C-alpha cells in the first residue's frame, strides 16, 4: 500500500490521542489508546493500529510527547558534568534569594543543585560584559578540562561560561574539545543567549541531561519510521521542529503536548473571531490552561519545571494536577483532589480495570454525566457500581452520601482549575470574564460550563475533535523555530544598524532548518518581539514590531502595553532588553478544512437520564449524539452531548448550539 496518510499523535500521561488524514481521499480517522508510559514507541504503534494505518503508509508523523517533562519531574535524567568560569561553579547552588514556599518553613528553601560539586569544573578563562577577553582560554586548558570530564563517567556535559551570549568563542572551543570526551555537549550560548547566569546554567544542564534519553528515543522512532515517514515533533514554543533540531535541544519538548492543544485553541479563537480566549485542556492526569490574546497564544521565556528554572521560549501554560484520573482523598476534615492520578493503569474505578480509589471521573459517573450504555472509544464499558463503591468509601469518612461526595469532588476539581484560570489571565492583564473558554481534552467539556459559570465567563467553545485536540494541534501546526537574544539598548542610544543586523542574523539562522524541510523562501514568514522595560525594572514587557524597527512606534506601543498592565506610564528612557525572532512556514492542514463524520440529523435525545447538578436531587436530563445535531439548533440545559470519546455537560441555565464550522458554542447564561 502506498504512503497516503498524515498522522498527528499526542502521547499523554493517561491516553495517547491520534488523528489521521488520508492525503488522497481526505478521510479522517480519530482514536484514543491507553498510553504505555514505559514504551512510548509502543503507544505510537498502538495508535497507528487503532486507525488502521502502519509505518509503511504514513507520509508525515506530527508528534507531541511528555517524554522530556516526565523525565524532569521523575528525576529520570542523565548525570552531567558542568564547566563554568573560574569562580562561578557554585552559581547553581547559590541560586536566587527567593524561597520555594514562603510560609511553609518545613519545606527546604531551595532544591539541591542539578550537578553535585564533584562534577562541577572551573575553566581558567574570563570574558567581560562587552565581549572583551579578560583571560583567554588556552588550548592546554581546554585539553585539561576535556581530560577531567572524560574521567567522570558521564555521557553529557554542559558548558555555561560568563557573558558567552556576547562572545561565544570560549564556549565553542570547549565544545569542540569535549566532543571527544563525552557523547553529548550543550552550550549555554546556544540554549539561552542572555544574562541571568543561574537560569541559563540550569537550562543548559537540563538540556544536556535530557540528550541521552531523547536522542535514544528519536533514533528508535526514526528506525521505526524508516525512509517512508517524515517525523516532526511539536516543541514548547508552539510549532513543529525536525528530529535533528530536537536532538540538539531536547528541552524544547518540555511542554510539547500541552503546547499543541493551546496552539490549536489559538487557531480556533482566530477562526471564530473570539478576541481573548482561554485554552482549557483537561486530560486524565493534568489540566493545562493558557490565555490567547487576539488569536495569539502567549509565549514566555521564564518557566519552571518541577521547581527548576528554565530560560527558554515556551507556551505560557499553567499546569495543575487535576485531571479525570485525579484521586480524591481525605485530608483531615477536608477533601483533596490530585495531584496524584490513577493514570491509564489501573485507571478510575469506573473503568473496571482494578482501580479502587475514587477519582474525578468516578464523580462524573456517579453524577450521571457519563453513560454506561456507550462503549468508551468503542472498546471500554464504564461500570457505575464500581464508581459508586469507590465514592461511597470516601463519603463514609466524611459522613456524606455518595452523591454529596461526588458533587464535592466535582466542585473541588473546578475550584483548582478556577485558580489556574485566574493565574494565567491576571498575569497578562486580562479580565477572564471577557474571555471565551475553549474546552478540550477527554474531561474538559464535562467541567467547562460549570467552571465558566463560576468564573463569570459567558461563552464556552467545545471544538470539533475536542477529545483528540492536542493531536489535532500537532497535525495542523506550522513548522517554526524561535530564538531570543540579549540586546540591552537604551532608547537614548538607539542603533538602527545594530537592530537590523541582529534581526537579519537570527532570521538567517532560524530559516535554515525551515528551508531544509523543503519550504520555499517566499513561504517563510518572520515575526519580531522586543522585550522592553524601564531602567531599574526587573521584568520586561513583550512588544511586537515589524521591520524596519521604528523606535518611536516601539516606544509608544511599549507605553500603551505598560499602561494596560500596570495602570501608569512615565517619560523615563526605556531599555530594549531582548530581541525575540520566530520564523515559520505555513501549516499543510487547517482546522477549518477538517470535518467530523456527520450522522443523520436528529433533534431527538438518545436517552433521558437522571443527573445531579447540586445536592438538591437528580434532574431529568436529555442526552444527545453530537454527530447528529442540526446546525444552529438550540439545546437548553440540562443536557448531555456526547461522542465516542467526549462528554459535554450543559447544566441548567446554559444553551448549546452547533456552529456551522462544527464547533459547539455554549452560552453559559452568565451576563457579562
* 3-class secondary structure per residue, 391-437: HHHHHHHHCCCHHHHHHHHHHHHHHHHHHHHHHHHHCCCCCHHHCEE
Q: What angle do CA 210, 280, 470 make, to 5 degrees?
A: 50
Distance CA 68, CA 207 (A): 10
**362-411 pLDDT per residue, tens:** 999 999 999 988 877 666 788 999 999 999 999 888 889 999 999 999 99
Q: Are residues 498 and 537 in the same domain?
A: yes
Residue 183 lies in a domain: yes
CB 600 within 8 A of CB 610: no
Residue 267 lies in a domain: no
Q: In the numeric block, which cell numbers belong to residue 604?
A: 431527538
Residue 161 lies in a domain: yes
> Of 170, 200, 232, which one is at a domain's C-terminal end?
232
Residue 446 lies in a domain: no
Q: Are residues 219 and 191 in the same domain?
A: no
Write the secondary structure of 519-552 as one string of H (helix), E (strand) and C (coil): CCHHHCEEEEEEEEEECCCCCCEEEEECCCCCHH
Grid cell 535514544 is found at 216
Q: What angle do CA 344, 348, 351 make, to 5 degrees?
A: 85
CB 158 within 8 A of CB 201: yes
Strands 639-642 and 375-376, how do they pair?
A: unpaired
Distance CA 132, CA 547 (A): 30
Local structure of 656: helix, strand or coil: strand
Q: Are residues 35 and 128 in the same domain?
A: no
Among the ranges 175-179, 259-263, 328-332, 584-588, which has the highest mean pLDDT value?
175-179
Quick one: CA torsion of 221, 222, 225, 230, rounded to 10 degrees?
120
Q: Which of 638, 420, 112 is nearest to 624 (CA)?
A: 638
CB 48 within 8 A of CB 58: yes
- Segment 516-524 shows an average pLDDT of 82
Cβ neighbour number for residue 595 with a 10 Å cutoff: 12
Distance CA 188, CA 190 (A): 5
Q: Are residues 80 and 210 in the same domain?
A: yes
Q: Are residues 30 and 160 in the same domain?
A: no
**85-135 pLDDT per residue, tens:** 999 999 999 988 877 777 777 777 788 899 999 999 999 999 998 889 999
Q: Are residues 67 and 77 in the same domain?
A: no
**51-79 pLDDT per residue, tens:** 999 888 888 898 888 788 878 877 889 99
- In sequence order, what are the beta bridge partners of 84? 122, 160
Instruction: Identify the DSSP state of 414.
Output: H
Residue 114 lies in a domain: yes
> Of 202, 232, 262, which one is at a domain's C-terminal end?
232
Distance CA 423, CA 290 (A): 10
Statement: residue 456 has pLDDT above 60: yes
Q: Are residues 60 and 82 in the same domain?
A: no
Q: Are residues 92 and 220 in the same domain?
A: no
Around 340, how many Cα atoms within 13 Å sit in the side-chain half-sphere?
8
> Of 586, 620, 652, which one is at a domain's C-terminal end?
586
pTM of the model: 0.82
**322-376 pLDDT per residue, tens:** 778 888 888 877 788 877 777 667 889 998 888 889 999 999 999 999 998 887 7
Q: Which of 653, 600, 597, 606 is nearest to 371 (CA)?
A: 606
**Of residues 599 and 560, more confidently modeled:** 560
Write the secondary structure of 603-640 as one string of H (helix), E (strand) and C (coil): CCCCEEEEEECCCCCEEEEEEEEHHHCCECCCEECCEE
Q: Are residues 87 and 151 in the same domain?
A: yes
Strands 230-235 and 239-242, how do they pair?
A: antiparallel
CATH of the domain at 12: 3.30.420.40
Quick one: CA torsion of 542, 544, 548, 553, rounded to 10 degrees?
-80
Residue 640: domain span: 607-666
CATH of the domain at 86: 3.40.50
**Alpha carbon distances (Å) from 276 to 292, 430, 432, 582:** 6, 8, 9, 22
Distance CA 517, CA 539 (A): 36
The pLDDT value recorded for residue 377 is 63
Among the ranges 35-49, 496-510, 586-600, which has the highest mean pLDDT value?
496-510
Q: In the numeric block, which cell numbers belong to residue 471?
A: 493531536
**473-512 pLDDT per residue, tens:** 888 878 888 888 888 899 999 999 999 999 999 999 889 8
Statement: residue 210 has pLDDT above 70: yes
**Alpha carbon distances (Å) from 264 to 54, 112, 234, 260, 471:** 26, 37, 12, 6, 9
Q: Are residues 52 and 77 in the same domain?
A: no
Distance CA 508, CA 627 (A): 47
| Number of folded domains that form the chain | 4
Residue 356 lies in a domain: no
Q: Are residues 547 and 616 in the same domain?
A: no
Element of type H or E holding 82: strand 80-85
Q: Are residues 113 and 200 in the same domain?
A: yes
Confidence of residue 1 (pLDDT cuts 50, 70, 90): very low
Residue 282 lies in a domain: no
Cis status of the peptide bond prior to 346, with omega within 30 of 0 = yes
Residue 258 lies in a domain: no
Amino acid at each position: 500500500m502506498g504512503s497516503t496518510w498524515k498522522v498527528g499523535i499526542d502521547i499523554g500521561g493517561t491516553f495517547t490521542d491520534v488523528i489521521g488524514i488520508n492525503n488522497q481521499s481526505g478521510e479522517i480517522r480519530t482514536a484514543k489508546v491507553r498510553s504505555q508510559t514505559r514504551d512510548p514507541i509502543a503507544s505510537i504503534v498502538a495508535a497507528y493500529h487503532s486507525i488502521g494505518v502502519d509505518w509503511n503508509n504514513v507520509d508525515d508523523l506530527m508528534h507531541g510527547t511528555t517524554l522530556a517533562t516526565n523525565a524532569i519531574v521523575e528525576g529520570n535524567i542523565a548525570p552531567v558534568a558542568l564547566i563554568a568560569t573560574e569562580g562561578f561553579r557554585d552559581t547553581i547552588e547559590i541560586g536566587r534569594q527567593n524561597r520555594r514556599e514562603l510560609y511553609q518553613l518545613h519545606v527546604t528553601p531551595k532544591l539541591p543543585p542539578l550537578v553535585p560539586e564533584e562534577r562541577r569544573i572551573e575553566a581558567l578563562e574570563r570574558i567581560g560584559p562587552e565581549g572583551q577577553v579578560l583571560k583567554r582560554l588556552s588550548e592546554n586548558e581546554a585539553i585539561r578540562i576535556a581530560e577531567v570530564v572524560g574521567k567522570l563517567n558521564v555521557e553529557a556535559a554542559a558548558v555555561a561560561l560568563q557573558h558567552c551570549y556576547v562572545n561565544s568563542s570560549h564556549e565553542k572551543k570547549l565544545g569542540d574539545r569535549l566532543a571527544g570526551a563525552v557523547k553529548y555537549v550543550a552550550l549555554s550560548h546556544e540554549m539561552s543567549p542572555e544574562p541571568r547566569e543561574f537560569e541559563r546554567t540550569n537550562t543548559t544542564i537540563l538540556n544536556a541531561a535530557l540528550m541521552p534519553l531523547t536522542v535514544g528515543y528519536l533514533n528508535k522512532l526514526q528506525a521505526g519510521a524508516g525512509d517512508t515517514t517524515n517525523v516532526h515533533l511539536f516543541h514548547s514554543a508552539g510549532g513543529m521542529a525536525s528530529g535533528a533540531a530536537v536532538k540538539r535541544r531536547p528541552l524544547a519538548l518540555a511542554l510539547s503536548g500541552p503546547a499543541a492543544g493551546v496552539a490549536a485553541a489559538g487557531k480556533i479563537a482566530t477562526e471564530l473571531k473570539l478576541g481573548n480566549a482561554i485554552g482549557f485542556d483537561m486530560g486524565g492526569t493534568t489540566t493545562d490552561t493558557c490565555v490567547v490574546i487576539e488569536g495569539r497564544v502567549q509565549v514566555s521565556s521564564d518557566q519552571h519545571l518541577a521547581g527548576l528554572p528554565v530560560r527558554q521560549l515556551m507556551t505560557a501554560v499553567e499546569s495543575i494536577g487535576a485531571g479525570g484520573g485525579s484521586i480524591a482523598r481525605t485530608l483531615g476534615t477536608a477533601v483533596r483532589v490530585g495531584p496524584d492520578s490513577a493514570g491509564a493503569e489501573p485507571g478510575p474505578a469506573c473503568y473496571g480495570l482494578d482501580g479502587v480509589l475514587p477519582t474525578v471521573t468516578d464523580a462524573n459517573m456517579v453524577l450521571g454525566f457519563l453513560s454506561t450504555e456507550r462503549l468508551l472509544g468503542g472498546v471500554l464499558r464504564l461500570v457505575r457500581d464500581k464508581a459508586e463503591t469507590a465514592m461511597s468509601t470516601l463519603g463514609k469518612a466524611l459522613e456524606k452520601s455518595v452523591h454529596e461526595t461526588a458533587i464535592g469532588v466535582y466542585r473541588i476539581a473546578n475550584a483548582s482549575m478556577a485558580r489556574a484560570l485566574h493565574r494565567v489571565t491576571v498575569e497578562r492583564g486580562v479580565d477572564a470574564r471577557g474571555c471565551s473558554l475553549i474546552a478540550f481534552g477527554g474531561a474538559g467539556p464535562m467541567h467547562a460550563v460549570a467552571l465558566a459559570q463560576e468564573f463569570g465567563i459567558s461563552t464556552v467553545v467545545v471544538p470539533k475533535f475536542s477529545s483528540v485536540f492536542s493531536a489535532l494541534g500537532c497535525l495542523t501546526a506550522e513548522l517554526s523555530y524561535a530564538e531570543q537574544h540579549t540586546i540591552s539598548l537604551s532608547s537614548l542610544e538607539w542603533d538602527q544598524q545594530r537592530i537590523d543586523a541582529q534581526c537579519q542574523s537570527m532570521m538567517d539562522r532560524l530559516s535554515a532548518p525551515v528551508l531544509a524541510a523543503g519550504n520555499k523562501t517566499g513561504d517563510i514568514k518572520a515575526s519580531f518581539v522586543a522585550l522592553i522595560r524601564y531602567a531599574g525594572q526587573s521584568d520586561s514587557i513583550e512588544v511586537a514590531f515589524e521591520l524596519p524597527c521604528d523606535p518611536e512606534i516601539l516606544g509608544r506601543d511599549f507605553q500603551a502595553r505598560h499602561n494596560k498592565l500596570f495602570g501608569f506610564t512615565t517619560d523615563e528612557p526605556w531599555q530594549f532588553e531582548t530581541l525575540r525572532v520566530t520564523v515559520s512556514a505555513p501549516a499543510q492542514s487547517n482546522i477549518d478544512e477538517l470535518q467530523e463524520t456527520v450522522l443523520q440529523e436528529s433533534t431527538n435525545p438518545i436517552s433521558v437520564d437522571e443527573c445531579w447538578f447540586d445536592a438538591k436531587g437528580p434532574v431529568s436530563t436529555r442526552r444527545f449524539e453530537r454527530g447528529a445535531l442540526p446546525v444552529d439548533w438550540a439545546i437548553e440545559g440540562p443536557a448531555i452531548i456526547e461522542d465516542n470519546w467526549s462528554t459535554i455537560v450543559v447544566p441548567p441555565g446554559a444553551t448549546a448550539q452547533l456552529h456551522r464550522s462544527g464547533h459547539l458554542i455554549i452560552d453559559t447564561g452568565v451576563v457579562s
